[in-house]
Amino acid sequence: MPEDNQFACKCISAEETPNFAKALCLKFAGTLEKILVTLLAVVLVASVAVALR
């Protein structure tokens, strides 16, 4: 019985780690996306300002 528990624990931690990494990756990707969108918006506004000048 203790061996089964040990195996279950290993299985759980093996499954939990990628999920944690995925969550971290998604969080980082989301932040990166926001930065890119912000940069795009700044470039767009700047080009419109230059075009209207």
User: Whole-model pTM?
Assistant: 0.47
Range of the structural domain that residue 47 is part of: 1-53
Letter string b/e over residues 11-27, b meaning 16 or more CB atoms within 10 A of that residue's CB: eeeeeeeeeeeeeeeee
Cα pseudo-dihedral 21, 24, 28, 31, rounded to 10? 150
For residue 47, give both structure tokens.
């080009």
Counting the structural domains of the chain, the total is 1
Q: Could you report the per-residue pLDDT of 3-51, keeping only the tens digit for each?
A: 666 665 565 556 666 777 777 777 777 887 888 899 999 999 999 999 9
Q: Could you report the per-residue pLDDT of 15-28, keeping only the tens digit for each?
A: 666 777 777 777 77
